[in-house]
Structure 1
């Protein structure tokens, strides 16, 4: 049992009720916060003492929707055709990339995404994976990379028929079931039941996914209505709204996550709320793909914040999401967005034992230590404003996940990160050459 004491620090709660407490100790043992208070660490026999005067401790951030398979896509050099609509973007770019991934590429994608997340103070990533030519075993590969770096997370395989028809659907469902069961023995990673999007999953696939959810107890993780095409497709082929189609198969559960949802109607949002589903907003990705703005976010009960594969930096994502919201005439303020970000911990609690998201006794010790020099008073009433307008990933100095110091003073104990990044670049170049030969 390892014990860590963080001495003489400032604690800022990023989950309502927001709070700021000065000059306290945080005592951690066996992955749990034992106590927080003045001189709480005095007399504690600790394996590690962190002198943190002038630092700020916050709960680790949660990336509510990520694509680890995109980890080696940064600056990807391939020839691609026109990308004037969302389907062309998928066919010319992302669906070619995922077909080029093999075991080694998935592993290094996972390492890179996990390192980048931890560096930015993100302690949990909710991943959504695709590698059509390497399905069986792919989720263990992703999970191995996560646990090697020390990030907490979930992953799943996105069921789809877009490449190989029902054979591909069956393989994706089987991988989801296998990992959802086996991952319950893992320390840091759990499995969900993934699907790409309703327009690439036939009814038989949705039925199989529903059975997988019942068999494993895991929830759904699915893109919905990212583009208007998904809505039109559902009306054309099934004569149903997307959410009604999912509800017919029993896919709307309180541990399920729906992503994007830009083109859902008010009735569909109401049904999501009634069923208690989580809903991930991904502002940067929506802007990048020019699919529109999610006008319903203020109506969603269980709104969380994701990146859709645009890295794991939630400081950056939250700023962009907030500014885009204000640009669209939205009425939310920093506190509303920080509440949505911290709500990701409620989804984490659906898959891991314990309480998450506060620096308090009894909560899991998933924490970030920031070197943030506030030029104005930092108090409970303006903590969210400091998070959006002042704090950034540049402030992240050390990170603790499950009571383990996974990054200390910007270094990763036991990991040769220079070697990992160098090898990742080699693998990326190999994958790009393969992808360049893959036809849309």
Structure 2
């Protein structure tokens, strides 16, 4: 396709312009941006779009998402991560989701993302208990059909769930422990599986890639993590993991390893420039210094962290330390939407309560960078997408900036972060293909997909409700583990407010 946007307001997010908008034209030829300038002549075969009163900006990057949760949107509240996972990722299961629903779940994730202006997503896919390339291929199929750009993992865990959190073995009744099997995957098996995926799916459609994901340092063996990092380096892809999302995890490091989880990762050689850490809430100054030295990245999930009560990440200090920061929704059960515009607004507002020094507040410009070129860096795709530059792939969105959210227009980056929610999107392009126009997906029949979901989901959700009842037996012990970890004084605080940590237990400030 050749497409020329004429008379647009352009937010390039490149090194020359940053978040400063300018007027001009943008030419797309094939899958890439061919020119960004004033008064460009239209090639003979070009479709010309009058972009007067429209903003052209890079498509948004969702730096951390779990499509495995999409069917549980709006289902849970009032549960911290460790309890919530009992239901969203049941430790007792009756088998994997059927392949057709697996495809539809991934497709629905991509559809909602594209209509929200997300052109690239990082899906930390989880599909216990087995590693079946035919099933992962269905995820790639869905993202291929939708037309989105994606990094897709198949997250691995090789430690027993009761050995991934402190105190559980002593708290959990033996009879319940006996009901739960441990993972059976070996390092050799996972490496062989990854080799097959890299050989058959990586680079598919020139916009879908495979990344390596060991779930978390406390959930995986040293041998598994080291093998994953070495593979990620060899393939030039991210090593995607979860670190210090909750206070429980902050307690886990000293309890299990006698040091913070970041120090542990550094000591075993898995804190690298390829490492992207989801969350990074309960990190210390010493942790952040190690992260800066390693050149690693963080996917900040402001909305999910609030819903699960995990705490507030020290984003100002992460940015000041030179850590690359992107924005993620997290799964659509702990966030409940795929809208990065929502995450942008929360990320911009949330950190204003961290300290009264306004010079230290996170700015709208910094949030915009995290949602675009910064997010692309966390996915190791910043040479491909995240900014509007000649030679980069044409991943962009066009917004109407003549309506309520921009009347009057004061400062564009502020309007995008504090006012926009995606409702002004008029066109979305990925890899040079128009995938959304006038609020309609061009690649998928939405009505047909929704009709099939309405037919298939009631039985699936009824079965999941049975699993919830089965797993609810573990909740009192998970909550006691959570309580014990929460009341520990670890020398830092990532909660806000004036309530005690627990009845009768004072909170540590600072």
Instruction: Give the TM-score, by structure 2 length.
Output: 0.78
2:274 counterpart residue number: 255
2:88 counterpart residue number: 93
Of 121, 126, 132 in structure 2, the residue corresponding to residue 130 of structure 1 is 126
C-alpha distance in structure 1 between counterparts of 2:10 and 2:124, whole Å: 32
2:349 counterpart residue number: 323
2:378 counterpart residue number: 347
| Deviation for aligned residue 1:52 | 2.1
1:35 aligns with 2:16: no
- Conservation of the 8 A alpha-carbon contact between 1:12 and 1:383: no
1:178 aligns with 2:196: yes
Which secondary structure state, in structure 2, belongs to the residue aligned with residue 336 of structure 1? Answer: helix
Of 330, 349, 354 in structure 2, the residue corresponding to residue 308 of structure 1 is 330
Residues 1:87 and 1:436: Cα distance change in structure 2 (over 3 Å): same
Of 352, 376, 389 in structure 1, the residue corresponding to residue 408 of structure 2 is 376
Give CA deviations for 1:31-78 in whole Å, capped at 9, x if unaligned. Answer: 1111122221x241234222222211111010111111112112349x
Residues 1:363 and 1:414: Cα distance change in structure 2 (over 3 Å): closer
Give CA deviations for 1:234-278 in whole Å, capped at 9, x if unaligned. Answer: 322222321222223322222221011111221111111111111
Give matches, 1:6-405, under 5 Å: 6-14=5-13, 17-22=18-23, 24-40=24-40, 42-76=41-75, 85-95=80-90, 100-137=96-133, 138-161=135-158, 162=161, 164-168=181-185, 170=187, 173-186=191-204, 187-300=206-319, 301-309=323-331, 310=335, 311-329=337-355, 331-342=361-372, 343-348=374-379, 350-351=380-381, 354-373=383-402, 374-377=406-409, 382-405=411-434
Residues 1:83 and 1:94: Cα distance change in structure 2 (over 3 Å): farther
Q: How many residue pairs get matched?
A: 428
Unmatched 5+ residue regions in structure 1? Answer: none
Question: CA-atom RMSD, angstroms?
Answer: 2.5
2:444 counterpart residue number: 415
| Deviation for aligned residue 1:136 | 1.2
Give CA deviations for 1:103-138 in whole Å, capped at 9, x if unaligned. Answer: 222211111111111101110001101110453123
C-alpha distance in structure 2 between counterparts of 1:425 and 1:194, whole Å: 32
Q: Which moved more, 1:126-135 or 1:314-323?
A: 126-135
C-alpha distance in structure 1 between counterparts of 2:203 and 2:305, whole Å: 36
Q: Which moved more, 1:224-233 or 1:156-165?
A: 156-165
C-alpha distance in structure 1 between counterparts of 2:249 and 2:25, whole Å: 51
Which secondary structure state, in structure 1, belongs to the residue aligned with residue 423 of structure 2? Answer: helix
Residues 1:248 and 1:428: Cα distance change in structure 2 (over 3 Å): farther
1:5 counterpart residue number: 4
| Deviation for aligned residue 1:211 | 4.2
2:459 counterpart residue number: 430
C-alpha distance in structure 1 between counterparts of 2:377 and 2:447, whole Å: 35
| Deviation for aligned residue 1:296 | 4.6
Which secondary structure state, in structure 2, belongs to the residue aligned with residue 19 of structure 1? Answer: coil
Which secondary structure state, in structure 2, belongs to the residue aligned with residue 167 of structure 1? Answer: coil
- Conservation of the 8 A alpha-carbon contact between 2:14 and 2:388: no
C-alpha distance in structure 2 between counterparts of 1:245 and 1:84, whole Å: 28
Give CA deviations for 1:166-195 in whole Å, capped at 9, x if unaligned. Answer: 413555554444323433341111111112
